[in-house]
Amino acid sequence: MSGRTRPRFIGLTGNIACGKSTVGRLLAARGAEYIDADRLTHQLLAAGTPENDGIVARFGSEVRAADGAIDRPRLGSIVFSDSAALKELEAILHPGVRALIRRAMAAATAPIVVVDAIKLFESGLARELDTAWVVTCPRAEQVRRLTADRGLTPEQATMRIDAQGSQEEKVRLANVVIDNGGTLAETERQVDAALATLLGTSHAAP
């Protein structure tokens, strides 16, 4: 990054259905470059990658789709009901994901760069960034969103939520907490205020 001003890196995380992708889109709309760890993970699940082969070796050929890629719903049905299996999957994927994230960070050119990662704290990635933002919402709203928007049963939704780390622990480690349990306008105001603080500019709520 020599010869130009170093970007400010925002680590963005939050548990499932809390709306971190919504906050990510708001930041992108304000000019931030967006690095999505989940999208990078998709690359590692494609046919022909070492991670793909490692997943099949651990979980069986039934998790591989006809095109050779990993069948995410099928794999999810295994790991979200088995915490040990989820940890094994993470051990296969996380080194490659971290390498792709660091490569994207090194190539970033925007003044603000957002690194959206569900395992922001657990992976140690937060220590490499300027600030860590956590998006929260009430548990009941998580369940509602997962059932209404993703077609899960309440039992499946609860299983997905419980498979993730504690929201309270993420909040404890965060520099900024965005409450996304209300309206989009309320979330936008929080994002704008946090951005203004990060950039050292004034912000007046409308």
- List pLDDT tens digits, range 149-178: 999 999 999 999 998 889 999 999 999 999
Q: Residue 3: pLDDT band by 50, 70, 90 thresholds? A: low
Q: Rounded to two decimals, what is the model's pTM?
A: 0.90
- Residue 206 pLDDT: 38
pLDDT value for 2: 47
Q: Percent of the chain having pLDDT more than 70?
A: 96
**Chain-wide mean pLDDT for the chain?**
93
Query: Where would I find the H helices in 80-183?
Result: 83-107, 139-150, 154-162, 167-173
**So what's the pLDDT on residue 203?**
52
Contact 179, 190 (CB under 8 A): yes
d(CA 154, CA 102) in angstroms, rounded, equals 37
Contact 146, 157 (CB under 8 A): yes
Q: pLDDT tens across 38-96, in order?
A: 999 999 999 999 999 999 999 999 999 999 999 999 999 999 889 899 999 999 999 99
Label residue 99 by pLDDT band (50, 70, 90): very high
The dihedral built from the CA positions of residue 140, 142, 147 and 152, taken in this order, carries a sign that is negative
Q: Is the dihedral of CA 25, 26, 30, 36 positive or negative?
A: negative
Alpha helices in 6-135 (DSSP H): 20-29, 37-44, 50-59, 72-79, 83-107
Tell me, what's the pLDDT at 5?
82
Distance, first Cα to last Cα, the chain: 36
Please tell me which residue, 4 or 63, carries the higher pLDDT value.
Answer: 63
Give the span between the Cα atoms of 34 and 109, in whole angstroms: 11
Residue 31, both tokens: 């000019």
